[in-house]
Amino acid sequence: QVQLQESGPGLVKSSQTVSLTCSVTGASITDSGYYWSWIRRPPGKGLEWIGYIVDSGSTFISPSFSGRTSISRDTSKNQVTLLLNSVTPEDTAVYYCARNTIGLRVTSFGSYDYWGPGTQVTVSS
């Protein structure tokens, strides 16, 4: 059984950096053929794809988040980390990590096979 679990600070202030961690069990983040993505849902809005990391360690960040976002991993802990810099209240959202198969569209959210429960991030002004 593959399980993903996000963790993060919960409440941060504007201009700070948010670091979120996705801990994976039941699969390895170095298994070939998968994207490990970060996705968020702001209040009252739809899902937004942020970026992914693949088995080789390569990453791709959505242009909407590039310049202030990075994704990395710790293979010894089987964890994927999202760093989001210079946050504003508009970054308030539930943040999810999820797995998808390479070749499928990263914005086809119904095609992801495993999701974490999500972690709330609230940015105060």
Q: How many residues does the chain have?
A: 125
- Residues 34-69: tens digit of each pLDDT: 999 999 999 999 999 999 999 999 999 999 999 999
> pLDDT tens for residues 3-16?
999 999 999 999 99
Which of the four pLDDT bands, split at 50, 70 and 90, describes residue 116?
very high
Alpha-carbon distance of 64 to 34, in angstroms, equals 22
- Higher pLDDT among residues 71 and 125, named by residue: 71
Would you state the pLDDT for residue 21?
Answer: 98
User: The tokens of 37 are what?
Assistant: 């993505």
Cβ neighbours for 11, distance < 8 A, ≥ 6 positions apart: 121, 122, 124
What's the rounded Cα separation, in Å, for the pair 110 and 119? 19
Nearest partner of 38 among 93, 97, 79, judged by Cα: 97
Paired tokens of 83: 């760093």
